[in-house]
Structure 1
Amino acid sequence: MKLALDPSMYRDDLTLEEMVYKTAELGYEYIELSPREDFCPFYKYPKVDSAKIKQLKRLLRDTGVKLSSLLPLYHWAGPEEDRRQAAVRNWKRAIEIAVELEVDLMNSEFSGSKYDPLTSEEKFIKSMDELLPVFEKEGIKLNLQAHPYDFIETHKGAMDMIRALDRDWINLVYSTAHTFFYDDGKGDIATMFDEAGDRLTHVLFA
């Protein structure tokens, strides 16, 4: 088991270098690298070149901190086709970055619209048809989480979609902070964990 810090609370105040050193100072061995404007921003094309990747790898070596995962977030299930195509381009670049960073796990969300769930599901599957071969070629695993106001908000919905994709390298992220959405406010985490079984590979605490 890896205990990793998602340093999102520092993304607006600390440089990339300061963030890595802060993580080490706090005693964490691993970072989950979530969206930053100077790296892989929310919904935008990644803003990182080979020099910045080398810089990050050097910082990690210097501090002894490792990357557990990369967390990109793009509108790959957005109902607008132009936005969906842009998201697929963003994902392909983010996968390249993960490979260069020697990270074999990416975590994300379904990233569609609660208000147009059918179209969002269709767009998500279309994006996955394009990206599954890329993930498989590069040996990158993927974990997905349901999220409030996404087209999949519930634990059952997330598990149904993960099973529908039918890849042993696509599994579940469970966010404890969103439990009240996942099971209509019952708070029955144990039942959801049992139901997910081996598909539960990443848990978020807030």
Structure 2
Amino acid sequence: MKFGASSWPFQWDPPYEDAIKRVAGLGFKAIELIAWNKDYLKDYYTPAKIADLKSALNEAGIIISQFVSTPHDLSHPEKAKREAAVDHWKRTVEVGVALGAPLINMVSTHPFAMRDGQEIPRITTKPLVQTYTAKVPEGADWNKNYEDYVEAVRACAKACEDAGVIMTVEPHPGRYLANTDGALRLLEHVGSKAMGINFDPSHTFPVGDFPNISVYRLGKHIKHLHVSDNDGVTNVHWRPGMGKIDWKAMFKALKEVGYDGVVSIELEDVPGVSRGPNSTAPGVYRNVTATDEFVAETVAGMNYLKQICKDLDIRVE
């Protein structure tokens, strides 16, 4: 295994060269880069910028483990919107390949392209409200919508297969892929050898899955890991060891299924995290760039998990 980190908690919005240097300087071996939407793919990830980022990665001695972007309209009821979302993904693959990423990641989408904070309330508000519910479309054909989503995801997987990379889909509460069963179902329906799972226990734990059991069930489908902790009520992203996830049990399962990839620390809800002053993402912290307090949290999380790996005799690069 090797430990990595997501770039966005260090620097929510681009440019990302300084985030690459900071992550490498902390002893991480890998980093993830992101495009929050298709405009970033066009306006930020230009050929010149991609060359700059590759140079920054090489100079820092760190690899890019995943490139991330989520086309939210893959489940849209309108075919043209789904096709545009697939085009968004194809551009994501182009950028990811140019950056040298072996994995291209998307988060699963909601049914009917519903959005967090709009038709779907954010799960972080769940403990605060008397009624927690979703606004669903009237007269909707739910089976057809799932079939349309599968078809769109299959097209995305084909783009990755053609490019020689792996697509990783990430579970998220309330979405078509919200838990382990949803992941296995989507994998079966899409049926692509170029598709795997970016397993994030902070997303599956609050919907009722035990992370160690999820690892045993998903097995070789797990191609990449996001790690953060929470209390199982919402999907907040705390430092490992600060919530209720049994990390030793999960890493024991990872060892037994033969996982030897990147463990990417993604702490989005700890003091000092970067969100950007204009970010619409939830969270109580608003820093343009992550502070030293955040760095301390991240390093503590990595060391906590490295000790577990040592206790379990798991080799860490």
TM range (shorter): 0.7 to 0.9
Residue 188 of structure 1 corresponds to which residue in structure 2? 210
* Cα-Cα RMSD: 2.3
* Deviation (angstroms), 1:3: 1.8
Q: Label 1:178 to 1:169 Cα distance change in 2 as closer, same or farther (>3 A).
A: same
Q: Does 1:127 align with 2:144?
A: no
Once residues 197 and 178 of structure 2 are traced to their aligned partners in structure 1, the CA distance between those partners, rounded to angstroms, is: 13
Paired amino acid for 1:151: Y
Q: Does 1:3 align with 2:3?
A: yes
User: Which of 63, 67, 77 is the aligned partner of 1:66?
Assistant: 63
Residue 202 of structure 1 corresponds to which residue in structure 2? 224
Counterpart contact for 1:154–1:181, Cα < 8 Å? no
Residue 178 of structure 2 corresponds to which residue in structure 1? 153
Q: Does 1:163 align with 2:160?
A: no
* Secondary structure of 2:75's aligned partner: coil
* Secondary structure of 1:9's aligned partner: coil
Q: Does 1:172 align with 2:197?
A: yes
* Deviation (angstroms), 1:120: 3.9
* Deviation (angstroms), 1:5: 0.5
Identical positions, percent: 24
Residue 138 of structure 1 corresponds to which residue in structure 2? 163
Q: Does 1:49 align with 2:74?
A: no
Q: Does 1:106 align with 2:104?
A: yes
Paired amino acid for 2:149: F
Larger CA deviation: 13-22 vs 61-70: 13-22
Once residues 61 and 162 of structure 2 are traced to their aligned partners in structure 1, the CA distance between those partners, rounded to angstroms, is: 29
Paired amino acid for 1:57: K
Q: How many aligned residue pairs are there?
A: 198
Residue 15 of structure 2 corresponds to which residue in structure 1? 15
Once residues 97 and 79 of structure 2 are traced to their aligned partners in structure 1, the CA distance between those partners, rounded to angstroms, is: 27
Q: Label 1:159 to 1:11 Cα distance change in 2 as closer, same or farther (>3 A).
A: same
Paired amino acid for 2:99: L
Counterpart contact for 2:198–2:224, Cα < 8 Å? yes
* Deviation (angstroms), 1:22: 1.3
* Deviation (angstroms), 1:45: 5.9
Higher relative contact order (CA 8 A, sep 6+): 2
Once residues 188 and 205 of structure 2 are traced to their aligned partners in structure 1, the CA distance between those partners, rounded to angstroms, is: 23
Cα deviations by residue, 1:16-73 (Å, 9 ceiling, x for unpaired): 2211111122221110113xxxxx2236461321101101011111111210111111
Q: Which structure 1 segments of 5+ residues have no match?
A: 35-39
Once residues 109 and 174 of structure 2 are traced to their aligned partners in structure 1, the CA distance between those partners, rounded to angstroms, is: 9
Once residues 146 and 21 of structure 1 are traced to their aligned partners in structure 2, the CA distance between those partners, rounded to angstroms, is: 29
Paired amino acid for 1:168: K
Residue 129 of structure 2 corresponds to which residue in structure 1? none
Once residues 30 and 80 of structure 1 are traced to their aligned partners in structure 2, the CA distance between those partners, rounded to angstroms, is: 38
Once residues 128 and 179 of structure 1 are traced to their aligned partners in structure 2, the CA distance between those partners, rounded to angstroms, is: 20
Paired amino acid for 2:194: W
* Secondary structure of 1:10's aligned partner: coil
* Deviation (angstroms), 1:161: 0.9
* Secondary structure of 1:193's aligned partner: helix
TM-score, with length taken from structure 1: 0.84
Q: Label 1:166 to 1:130 Cα distance change in 2 as closer, same or farther (>3 A).
A: closer
User: Which of 134, 143, 153 is the aligned partner of 1:118?
Assistant: 143
Larger CA deviation: 111-120 vs 125-134: 111-120
Q: Which structure 2 segments of 5+ residues have no match?
A: 115-135, 229-317
* Deviation (angstroms), 1:74: 0.9
Cα deviations by residue, 1:59-91 (Å, 9 ceiling, x for unpaired): 111111210111111122233434322211111
Residue 24 of structure 2 corresponds to which residue in structure 1? 24
* Deviation (angstroms), 1:199: 1.4
